[in-house]
A = this chain, B = another copy of it.
Amino acid sequence: MPRLAIIGLGLIGGSLGLAIKRAQPEGLEIAGFDREHGIGGRARKAGAIDIEARDPASAVEGAAIVVVATPISQVRTAFEAIEPALGEGTVVTDTASTKGEVIRWARECLPDGVSFVGGHPMAGKEMSGLGAAEPALFDGQAWAITPTANTPVRAIQTVESLVRLVGARAVVVDPHEHDTYVAAVSHLPLVAASAMFALLSGSQAWPDLAALAGPGLRDTTRLASTDPDLSHDISLTNRENIAHWLDRFIDELRRWRTLVADETRAEELAKALFEVQAKRNAFLESPPKHPEPESENQTLTSGEQMLSFMMGEYVVRRTKEMSELLEGKAEDGRESHR
């Protein structure tokens, strides 16, 4: 049976398993591993994975797709751990928030014959860990896919199909551009929210401020509740881009400060407020659409497409290198007529 492996069963890895299961792709088994004791078993009981692997290498053995969903700081270790067990033609992807370092690690650690395609679901919430996982986490959200010039098209398509299968919107983007863009739309908000909450909660008036705080402050600073390990990983692996956007934000805030403080610029302020509301409402009203799938298989569902791509890789791999192992696993004989 085609296998998908998930390494790291936290909010993202757990939600991924649940979302795949929700789509009920026929004849796919999910193996999972988490380095924290007990998480694998809980993920299996929660229905996020079928097989709890005892180590990363066992999880990826015989897998056509491997998703590394660990924190960024553990991605390199995960690559090293799975490397010996990866079969020819396997597609490896990840879910880390920054891509520059991850792609370097993939190049250094993963064997030839394995295709790495970076991935990054633009989804999350205040809580982290398997307990917060939910099948709908990715619904309608962007999921960046970051191939390089050398990535085989089929590997990109495989990951695109997986992304669609779990309800997300695949956005294919150059890894370098990805890191610049997410610095703007994800990391700038994260640092700004953290700075704002640090400023207010560090103020002497905080008890009075807290008593008056409403939903506006809560929403604006929601990202300050992000898992600090994740925020730290992001900051260290996307330093220059975040600093660049922080500089631009500080300049923009200075401009608004002048508009607010200068009585003679009330009209300009009104115009700026009107424009930003109109732009944001336009953004909310026409969110980016799912791009049409570019493959020839227009009539297939995402699940069927993914399985079709997986089967392609799977057959290549199997016939080439792992026939014995896989034959031993084909208990139910379904492979024979595929």
Binary CB contact string for chain A from 265 to 291 against chain B (1 if under 8 A, 0 otherwise): 010011011111101110110001000
Q: A195-B255, A217-B186, A232-B270 are in contact. Are A225 and B284 (CB under 8 A)?
A: yes
Q: Which residues of B are found within 8 Å of A215, using beta-carbon distances?
A: 123-125, 141
Question: A225–B194 Cα gap in the complex (Å)?
Answer: 21
Question: A179–B272 Cα gap in the complex (Å)?
Answer: 23
**Contact residues on A (Cβ < 8 Å of other chain), bracket:** 35 or more
Question: A254–B251 Cα gap in the complex (Å)?
Answer: 11
Q: Which residues of B are found within 8 Å of A213, using beta-carbon distances?
A: 122, 142, 185, 283
Residues of A within 8 A of B (CB): 122-125, 141-142, 144, 171, 173, 177-178, 180-182, 184-186, 188-201, 203, 205, 208-228, 231-232, 235-236, 239-240, 242-243, 246-250, 252-257, 259-261, 263, 266, 269-270, 272-277, 279-281, 283-284, 288
Question: A255–B216 Cα gap in the complex (Å)?
Answer: 24
14 contacts between A and B (CB under 8 A): A124-B214, A142-B212, A142-B213, A181-B205, A182-B212, A184-B203, A185-B209, A190-B216, A192-B253, A194-B273, A194-B276, A220-B222, A225-B280, A228-B273
| A interface, over-half SS | helix
Question: A274–B194 Cα gap in the complex (Å)?
Answer: 10
Question: A226–B123 Cα gap in the complex (Å)?
Answer: 24
Number of copies: 2
Question: A68–B258 Cα gap in the complex (Å)?
Answer: 31
Q: Who on chain B is nearest to A178 by CB?
A: B212
A181 touches which of B173, B184, B208, B270 (Cβ 8 Å): B208
Q: In the complex, are the beta carbons of B197 and A279 less than 8 A apart?
A: yes
Q: In the complex, are the beta carbons of B209 and A181 less than 8 A apart?
A: yes
- Pick from A180, A190, A212, A256 the residue with the most CB of B within 10 Å: A212
Q: In the complex, are the beta carbons of A177 and B208 less than 8 A apart?
A: yes
